[in-house]
């Protein structure tokens, strides 16, 4: 029995989100809970201004919310404001900001090509993430280049916890030592790990493997969430059993394994890429579900867009050469211009279309056109035979 004079309050890590369906999102655990209208309206009353005795609720629902740490009780009133503007349809849930085109490595497979000096001005960064929060965003992906090289990175780092979304830093790990790891305030860091020792260094440069492992271990020793991204290439295909053992031993939250697309540096260094039918089977090593989900009826990447170092907005980083606008025009205005491809528009007809969502639209675009099947997903599911 809850104390009648206590306040029933939404947990500090939980935020109400008006997406396609009303939801509660826990930015610490990365859990998204769909609710019905009745439950959502009840949770809106749990803003720290109402005592238990003033609320009418089903006890089993509140017990579940307390168990999931969606709700907590407080002795004192602490009024909380919710941002409940209805999200656009489809909703923009995952925003990648490429803070800078500067990088301290020259990776052979980098789809962005050679490093440059472009940096998004701090005022544009702040404006974009404020707009992202306003339209119910879930995850902010802070990338580059190497994002730690942006001149105002630490200013952003100190402000990031003021917002109601989960923040994920995408880094090569080269600059993350003990001191840096302690300063980071993001919820998660994703480190690129493209092989074991020599195979990683072959792609990213001498000494980069040891720096990446150091970064992961420093972050994990501090209890920070770490995910790993791995690209399949000619030099790491014998590494995967050892790489899997290494990833599992370090307590990694999520392992994203993918096949690089022919873009950027890979255009001139394409001999490091395996044929899709040979590289696709290695995707089975990944775990954790991946970063980007799609709503029913839409193709892969429906809820994602990217802001480039020039401040332009594109469908994703791969489509940076065909932007739909500039952040100065407003994030939501640009989001509405993106071609959100529906499953029915794809040239896919197999039984797995609902499962794979057609796969990567850029890979399909490079191979044929933006509505074509992604051959990697076709090989994984046996639609195209693997020798």
Query: pLDDT (tens digit, 9 = 90+) per residue, 67-108?
Result: 999 999 999 988 999 999 999 999 999 999 999 999 999 999
Q: Are 281 and 290 in contact (CB under 8 A)?
A: no
Element (H, E) at 191: strand 188-192
- Partners of 55 in the β-ladder: none
Place of tokens 């749990």: 46
Average pLDDT over the chain, rounded to whole? 94
Q: Is 169 helix (H, G, I), strand (E, B) or coil?
A: strand
Element (H, E) at 208: helix 208-221
Q: Where are the domains of the chain?
A: 7-74, 94-339
Q: Are 9 and 78 in contact (CB under 8 A)?
A: yes
- Residue 274 DSSP label: P
Query: pLDDT (tens digit, 9 = 90+) per residue, 257-273?
Result: 999 988 899 888 888 99
Instruction: Please give the angle made by the CA atoms of 96, 97 and 102, to the nearest 5 degrees.
Output: 125
Q: Is 67 helix (H, G, I), strand (E, B) or coil?
A: helix
Pick the CATH number of 94-339 from 3.20.20.70, 3.90.45.10, 3.40.50.2000, 2.30.42.10: 3.20.20.70
Task: Specify the pairing of strand 47-51 against strand 166-171.
Answer: unpaired
- Residue 87 DSSP label: P
User: How much is the pLDDT for 290?
Assistant: 57
DSSP-assigned letters across all residues of 33-52: EE--HHHHHHHHT-EEEEEG
- What gap in Å lies between CA 209 and CA 76, rounded to an integer? 50
Measured in whole angstroms, how far is the alpha carbon of residue 385 from the centre of its chain? 31
The pTM for the full model equals 0.95
Q: Report the chain (387 residues): mean pLDDT per 10 consecutive residues.
A: 90 97 97 96 95 90 95 91 96 98 95 90 97 98 97 98 97 98 98 97 97 98 98 97 97 95 88 94 88 79 96 95 96 96 93 91 92 94 73
């Amino acid at each position: 029995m809850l104390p009648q004079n206590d306040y029933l309050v939404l947990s500090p890590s939980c935020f109400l989100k008006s997406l396609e369906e009303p939801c509660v999102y826990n930015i610490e655990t990365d859990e998204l809970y769909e609710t019905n209208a009745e439950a959502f309206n009840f949770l809106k009353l749990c803003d720290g201004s109402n005592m238990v005795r003033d609320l009418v609720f089903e006890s089993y629902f509140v017990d579940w919310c307390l168990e999931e740490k969606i709700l907590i009780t407080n002795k004192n009133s602490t009024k909380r404001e919710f941002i409940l503007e209805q999200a656009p349809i489809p909703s923009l849930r995952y925003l990648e900001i490429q803070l800078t085109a500067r990088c301290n490595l020259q990776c052979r497979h980098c789809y962005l090509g050679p490093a440059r000096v472009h940096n998004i001005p701090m005022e544009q960064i702040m404006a974009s993430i404020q707009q992202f929060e306003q339209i119910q965003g879930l995850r902010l992906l802070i990338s580059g280049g190497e994002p730690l090289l942006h001149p105002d990175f630490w200013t952003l780092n100190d402000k990031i916890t003021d917002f109601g979304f989960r923040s994920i830093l995408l880094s090569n790990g080269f600059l993350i030592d003990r001191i840096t790891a302690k300063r980071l305030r993001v919820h998660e860091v994703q480190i690129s790990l493209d092989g074991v020792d020599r195979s990683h260094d072959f792609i990213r440069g001498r000494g980069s493997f040891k720096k990446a492992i150091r970064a992961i271990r420093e972050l994990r020793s501090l209890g920070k969430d770490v995910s790993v991204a791995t690209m399949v290439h000619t030099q790491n295909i014998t590494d995967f059993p050892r790489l899997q053992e290494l990833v599992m031993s370090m307590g990694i939250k999520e392992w994203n394994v993918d096949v690089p697309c022919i873009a950027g540096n890979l255009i001139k260094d394409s001999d490091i890429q395996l044929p899709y039918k040979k590289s696709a089977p290695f995707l089975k090593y990944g775990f954790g579900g991946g970063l980007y989900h799609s709503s029913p009826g839409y193709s892969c990447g429906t809820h994602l867009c990217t802001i480039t170092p020039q401040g332009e907005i594109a469908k994703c980083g791969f489509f940076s050469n065909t932007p739909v606008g500039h952040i100065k025009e407003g994030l939501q205005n640009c989001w509405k211009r993106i071609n959100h491809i529906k499953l029915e528009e794809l040239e896919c007809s197999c039984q797995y279309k609902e499962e794979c969502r057609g796969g990567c639209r850029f890979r399909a675009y490079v191979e044929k056109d933006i509505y074509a099947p992604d051959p990697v997903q076709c090989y994984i599911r046996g639609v195209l035979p693997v020798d």
